Amino acid sequence: MSSRILIIYEYQILYQILNEVNESLNFEIIQFNEKDLKEFKHNPESNYVIISKQEIRGIKNNLIIDNIPIKFEKLIEIINIKFLKNKFIDQSNITIGEYNLDLNSRKISSGDKSLSLTERETNLIVFIKDKKNVTIKELQKMVWDYSPDLDTHTVETHIYRLRKKMKETFRDEDFIINTNNGYSID
């Protein structure tokens, strides 16, 4: 199965046109009706776009094509751009426990709450999450590009401030855990 799936929602003529040239396209085409859409389970391995004549409430990756007629090349270009945007957005989101970290906007969110982060805070979170049990010396070297021999409290200060922000916004006192082996994020 293709990793790029174009779902055409209640748009019979568009489905017929694209299905005729299906072999020359770099995505799989599926036709959906309302029942199919309700039962749709997104596979995280695939990049999908849903084309319709109007917005579908509660559905992401909806591409509205209502300016018909449209040149075929332009239509394919619009579809491919939407696939690229979806891939870019998916690659910028990291799940950390109950949180979603958007690397593009540098926001961490949980439920309906979100918190804006600095670039350094974002880098700090990603590094600690990926590495597990990170020492202050490692953080000085890898996140701040400081010499590990430098005596500074920059790392501790940033972690303290980040913990404080997480506690104020999400009431999470255990976001960054300090153990004997270093800092970690579960």
Contacts of 91 (CB under 8 A, 6+ apart): none
CA quadruple 52, 55, 57, 58: dihedral positive or negative?
A: positive
pLDDT of 45 reads 59
CATH of domain 94-184: 1.10.10.10
pLDDT of 1 reads 39
CATH of domain 4-91: 3.40.50
Mean pLDDT for each consecutive 10-residue tract of the chain (186 residues)? 78 88 86 85 72 81 82 88 82 86 91 92 89 82 70 81 94 89 85
pLDDT of 50 reads 87
Q: What is the pTM of this model?
A: 0.57
List the domain boundaries for the chain.
4-91, 94-184
Name which of 97, 100, 111, 102 is nearest 186 in CA terms. 97
pLDDT of 42 reads 65
pLDDT of 168 reads 95
pLDDT of 2 reads 47
